[in-house]
Amino acid sequence: MSVPKIVINDITKSFKDFYHDSLKAGNAIANKTKLNDVVVISKKTSFDQIEAYIGAILYKRISAIIPHPSKKVFQNEFVEKMQKIDSACSPTLCIADNKHKDVYDLWDTITDFSDENQAPIPDAPKKDDVAIIQLSSGTTGLPKVIKITHGSLLEQCCEYANVIDLGPDDVVVSWLPLYHDMGLIACFWMPLLTGTSFVHIDPFSWLSRPTELFEMIEKHKGTHIWMPNFAFSYMAKRCKKSTNDLSSVKEWISCSEMTHENDMMSFYNTFKPLGVTEKSLSICYAMAENVFAVSHCNGLISKNDTLCCGKFIPSTSVIIMDGEKLITRPCRLGREDIKNIPDEDLIKDIGEVYIKSSYLAENLPVNKYGYYNTGDMGFMHKDGLYIVGRSDDMIISYGKNIFPYNIEQYISNMKGIIPGRVACFGVHNEGKGTQDIFVVAESSETDTKQLTNDIIKLVLKEFEILPICKVVDKNYIIKTSSGKINRNKTRTKTLNDKNG
């Protein structure tokens, strides 16, 4: 069994050294806060970031990692985001990088851990004590505050690790930001709590030089890699000349957004010579409200042009609803609701149930069966869960149900389109009493008229819908802090430009 290690931006520490340095950071935080105060960490990917995060928890403060200022976010937008975070969880202290400390005028801010006054270390927390806060990316309105207890965090990480057979001989390699649940839970907390080595690189470094991920995998013999779907497509196009050995990877896991089979197979076919196997391609369906994982699927299994998200992890059950009606017929589209421990009288309707302590966040709205509405649309088939999109994103155009993600994926793979930079949304047509499909696509091409015509032809052919299309320059489309397309804000911006 190998000795676990932590590698951040090519700097290595043992778990023991990380713990002691976290205590030092926690001591500085404790001298400026009280028990159960909320502490937010807004720093770049570094040991300082995660030591402050863990240090606050060791001293029984409630810790949260939030985005830090970057060139991609205008200062006024960042200040507005901080104001929303303040309204959502009222932090007492912010840990920030020194060059950005003046941005955080809402909170007391520290930039180093040099406090020499020794604060008393509290007793060990109880399992029902709140350990961390996860904040939604805030596509609309205030970020959703999701409080995670020590017990829920430990149980979720251990159960999901068992599902994917993650252990001390494995290595997680990640470029994901820790203010997003996939990076935080799957790539930080799970390896930390299971004694598994993990390697982190800065997200912006990966974005500008994506081959760095492959280099770290080869160097540290990485075994488990989580990424959103767009990253598989991005790397297949940007890293074709890579010669790194990727044969150590047991699972390439697509999560956080709808997974497109073409993107996964393109990744596989491009890097098969480097050791990527088809059986290593996996899908995880997850949400912060459930700490992280809901289901996991090894391999790509398709039904009705949708990839399977797998069977549920222990302690999680799923039912499919149509309004207030429970759906039992396989493959029928409905609203997907989850709860960890269903009422006993529902067992006959949902099949086998695993009864364990719940890690679904408290104080969430539930339906009459006690299930939480995720807002996703999906169906069940042969004990597998299939997600087709978000219910609030679905567009009804001329009587057809259209999920924007499907159109975005088709267009994103077109020549001349910047991968992952396509937004699709509905615009009400008062004259026809329905919604028109509006597509905004970023491109570096100069002949935008031809590209626009090509997009219209593609959508008409594949979806039998005539769209309105606008080809724009790079960075026009607005994204959330977690990198997802913000369709609402892009829609508002596009319509304002159109009417202006």
Q: Which residue has the higher pLDDT, 298 or 144?
A: 298
In the chain, which segments carry CATH 3.40.50.980?
A: 5-124
Architecture of domain 395-499: 2-Layer Sandwich (3.30)
In the chain, which segments carry CATH 3.40.50.12780?
A: 163-390
pLDDT reading at 26 higher than 90: yes
Burial category of 202 from C-beta neighbours within 10 Å (exposed 0-12, middle 13-18, buried 19 and up): middle
Q: Which two tokens stand for residue 485?
A: 């397309």
The total number of residues written for the chain in this structure: 500
Q: Which two tokens stand for residue 65?
A: 């990692």
Residues 6+ apart with CB under 8 A from 471: 441, 442, 443, 445, 448, 451, 452, 455
Looking at residues 348-369, what average pLDDT do you find? 52
Percentage of the chain beyond pLDDT 90 is 50
Give the Cα separation of 192 and 396 in Å (integer): 45
The confidence band for 354, taking pLDDT boundaries of 50, 70 and 90, is very low
| Overall fold of domain 5-124 | Rossmann fold (3.40.50)
- Crossing angle for the helix pair 229-238 and 404-412, nearest 10 degrees? 10
CATH class of 163-390: alpha beta
Q: Which two tokens stand for residue 178?
A: 């820790």
Q: Which residue has the higher pLDDT, 418 or 80?
A: 418
The confidence band for 349, taking pLDDT boundaries of 50, 70 and 90, is very low
Summarize pLDDT for 468-497 with one digit per residue, the tens. 999 999 889 988 766 778 888 899 999 888
Beta partners for residue 34, in sequence order: none
pLDDT of residue 343: 46
Measured in degrees and rounded to the nearest 5, phi and psi for residue 195 equal 65, 35
Beta partners for residue 169, in sequence order: none
Summarize pLDDT for 107-131 with one digit per residue, the tens. 888 878 876 788 888 888 999 999 9
Question: pTM for this one?
Answer: 0.84
pLDDT reading at 187 higher than 90: yes
pLDDT reading at 89 higher than 60: yes
pLDDT reading at 450 higher than 50: yes
In the chain, which segments carry CATH 3.30.300.30?
A: 395-499
Q: How far, CA to CA in Å, does 191 sit from each of 1, 2, 41, 218, 224?
A: 15, 13, 20, 19, 10
Looking at residues 314-328, what average pLDDT do you find? 75
